[in-house]
Amino acid sequence: MRTHFDVFGLPRSHAVDVPALEKQYRELSLQLHPDRVGPGDAKARLAAVEGTTALNEAFKTLKDPVRRAFYLLKLHGVDLDREDAGAQKDMPLEFLEEVMELREALDEAIAARDLPRAQGMAKDVAGRKAAALQEAVAALGTLEGAGDSPDGVRKASHALGRVRYFTRFLEQVDAFEEEVLA
């Protein structure tokens, strides 16, 4: 199976030179663009459209460090984008309890229309999200070097599960902030 990394000739790694990726994306976009195909060659035009679609999806995924991490985990057999992903059900109990407490505190702040409190919580959660992403990247790095160790996959899954939760939390604070400031 051809991966997003293969599209750009890159090794499977979280470390990606984004400016170089952007430059290569522009070059490949020009080469693959459907307008470069003659009007009478429907088969070649379809191949160009499919190639451009694959290129765009690969670029969108690889340029974003969070999407890139989730994609690397998916290449190791865990797709956290699926609602029934076993890794989501396997989150540590203490984290799930922490999530409930954070959610309740945010709900209280929103109900009280206390934007400064919600923003303070968001600042803390943003730091925790960054730390969870670093943890996931470290776990994914060991997987790339050592193969699919169950412990490494579990560590990366749990860290990215936290990233996903923290991202949703921050999105909720952003929506509250927009509502209050509108």
Percentage of residues of the chain with pLDDT beyond 70: 93
**pLDDT higher than 70, residue 92:** yes
**pLDDT higher than 80, residue 118:** yes
How does pLDDT run across 49-88, given as a tens digit for each residue?
888 899 999 999 999 999 999 999 999 888 887 655 555 5
Which residues, 6 or more positions from 163, have their beta carbon under 8 angstroms from its beta carbon? 66, 69, 129, 132, 133, 136
